[in-house]
């Protein structure tokens, strides 16, 4: 009786060297690195279910569990690979059959296909990465909220179209980023929820005649539930596409934040400086301190966006069925994106925590840049009875004249307003100098912004407190999933060890 089994009986020739080098070898190497441990876990869960359902005898399952546990303990190198097969499972099965013979070793694949097996292991790999990514994102959010609280009164110019707009604080800028990051958290949590469904038991596409308990294997593998319809389970990879899209959105935000920080770190702005550990130097210009960490963050964002484009391109114009380009090929760019995004989250947290600010320069820029012009127009409208548009016209003329005369915003006087009002509307305004000074003061501008969502100090305290509460809930939710996965893995391996004796 043959002591070997093969998956290539249907074809007479071995795969070509070019196919091996282009497809099989990199695919198997990637699986060894990214899903070997998950595959061992799946084999144990499936074997335990086969025994529980009476599909495979207990002594055979005990032997199978013992061999799989040995392979799991020894790691990927315990499975010899010659790269003539297209996936990791082909070598794992060969290794199990070599150890137990084709009768016992060949029973592990009962009621199962590589289709549902591979769909399950790669979902597990994605799920693990998403849990870690969400934990990293929560840490970044915590750092951003800490800094927002610390800099809630650090006045700076706010910008629209890269031009001075209205005074804000650095803490308010950070809090805005924190809310965007919270939405990223929800998007990634949604992707995790959709990845956290178990395809195992779907078979090739329509389940099997064996009485499998798909709920049991889903539970043993720590999934929230089975992915019910078998055809969907082996044909769909919207879980990976959704994850890639969420990561691309997140990384785009981080790139935009890095762009601001890079601009504000220049000599021309002088608002802040990166820590030395996040900077590089020039080989020829001794004065240079280059913000290489920020440049790297922006480049990485482009790579994650490219991963999304690659995954979508692999999937488009494919049959809605189990096909390698739509179901398998997306794993490479998407999992590369998860590891890259995790690294950038950790780096972004470190960069933000290491910034050194120049609050005096930031406040000075806010004072001299006419960002308080909106508040001045509001004061005119409130105190003179003119419409806001008329007040807007007056202030615009005053600002234009001041710029032409080389004056800063804090050099505007009540007489300038009267002159502009007389020119435009034939009468002076009579705004008190004290009211004018208060309107032009950036800090007073900020204190006046008490409307919901504004940067006033009381608003900032309340908003930061609310966001800390939301962050705590998000952290707890991630920890619940992580604990569920750890407990399920421990249970599966413990049951397998007990059965193996």
Residues assigned a catalytic role: 161, 282
Report whether 265 contacts 285 (CB < 8 A). Answer: no
Please tell me the total number of residues recorded for the chain in this structure: 501
DSSP state of 15: P
Greatest distance between any 2 Cα atoms in the chain: 109
Q: Are 172 and 152 in contact (CB under 8 A)?
A: yes
> Which residue, chain included where needed, has tokens 């397998």?
496
The SS3 call for residue 198 is: strand
Could you give the CA distance from residue 486 to residue 235 in angstroms, rounded to a whole number?
28
- Hey, which residues does 273 pair with through a beta bridge? 356
Residues 6 or more apart whose CB falls under 8 angstroms from that of 315 comprise 237, 241, 325, 326, 330
> How many angstroms separate the Cα of 109 from the Cα of each of 14, 27, 94, 235?
23, 21, 12, 20
In the chain, helix, strand, coil percent, each to 5? 70, 5, 25
**8 A C-beta contact, residue 442 and residue 155:** yes
| Cα dist from 283 to 182, 278, 293, 423, whole Å | 40, 17, 17, 58
Distance CA 93, CA 110 (A): 12
Give 416's contacts (C-beta < 8 A, 6+ positions apart): 398, 401, 402
* Contact indicator for 343, 249 with CB cutoff of 8 Å: no
Burial of 70 (0-12, 13-18, 19+ CB in 10 A): middle
CA 406 to chain centre: 47
End-to-end C-alpha distance for the chain, whole angstroms: 28
The answer to whether the beta carbons of residues 87 and 9 sit under 8 Å apart is: no
Comparing CA positions, the residue from 125, 129, 134 lying closest to residue 221 is 125
> Contact 141/347 with Cβ under 8 angstroms?
no
- Distance CA(378)–CA(287), nearest Å, equals 45
């Amino acid at each position: 009786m043959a002591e070997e089994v093969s998956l290539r009986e249907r074809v007479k020739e071995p795969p070509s060297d070019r196919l091996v080098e282009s497809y099989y070898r990199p695919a198997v190497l990637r699986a060894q690195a990214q899903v070997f441990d998950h595959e061992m876990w799946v084999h144990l869960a499936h074997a335990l279910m086969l025994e529980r359902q009476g599909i495979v005898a207990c002594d055979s399952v005990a032997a199978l569990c013992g061999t799989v546990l040995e392979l799991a303990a020894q790691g990927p190198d315990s499975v010899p690979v010659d790269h003539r097969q297209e996936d990791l499972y082909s070598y794992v099965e060969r290794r199990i059959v070599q150890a137990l013979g084709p009768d016992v070793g060949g029973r592990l694949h009962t009621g199962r296909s590589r289709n549902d097996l591979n769909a399950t292991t790669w979902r597990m790999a994605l799920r693990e990465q998403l849990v870690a990514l969400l934990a990293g994102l929560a840490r970044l959010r915590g750092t951003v909220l800490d800094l927002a609280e610390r800099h809630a009164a650090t006045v700076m110019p706010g910008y629209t179209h890269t031009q001075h707009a209205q005074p804000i604080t650095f803490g308010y800028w950070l809090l805005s980023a924190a809310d965007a990051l919270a939405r990223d958290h929800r998007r990634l949590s949604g992707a995790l929820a959709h990845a956290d469904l178990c395809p195992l038991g779907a078979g090739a596409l329509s389940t099997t005649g064996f009485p499998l308990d798909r709920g049991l294997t889903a539970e043993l593998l720590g999934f929230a539930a089975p992915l019910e319809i078998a055809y969907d389970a082996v044909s769909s990879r919207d879980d990976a596409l959704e994850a890639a899209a969420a990561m691309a959105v997140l990384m785009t935000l981080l790139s935009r934040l890095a762009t601001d920080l890079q601009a504000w770190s220049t000599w021309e702005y002088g608002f802040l400086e990166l820590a030395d550990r996040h900077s590089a130097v020039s080989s020829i210009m001794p004065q240079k301190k280059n913000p290489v960490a920020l440049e790297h963050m922006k480049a990485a964002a482009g790579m994650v966006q490219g991963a999304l484009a690659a995954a979508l391109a692999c999937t488009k114009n494919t049959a809605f069925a189990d096909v390698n380009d739509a179901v398998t090929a997306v794993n490479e760019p998407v999992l590369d994106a998860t590891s890259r995004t995790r690294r950038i989250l950790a780096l972004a947290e470190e960069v933000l925590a290491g910034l050194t600010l120049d609050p005096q320069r930031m406040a000075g820029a806010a004072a001299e840049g006419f960002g308080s012009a909106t508040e001045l127009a509001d004061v005119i409208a409130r105190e003179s009875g003119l419409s806001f548009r008329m007040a807007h016209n007056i202030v615009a003329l005053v600002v234009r004249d001041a710029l032409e005369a080389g004056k800063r915003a804090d050099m505007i006087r009540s007489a300038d307003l009267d002159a502009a009002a007389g020119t435009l509307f034939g009468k002076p305004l009579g705004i008190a100098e004290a009211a004018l000074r208060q309107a032009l003061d950036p800090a007073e501008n900020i204190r006046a912004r008490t409307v919901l969502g504004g940067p006033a100090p009381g608003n900032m305290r309340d908003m930061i407190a609310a966001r800390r509460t939301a962050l705590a809930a998000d952290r707890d939710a991630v920890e619940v999933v992580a604990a569920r996965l750890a407990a399920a893995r421990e249970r599966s391996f413990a049951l397998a060890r007990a059965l193996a004796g």
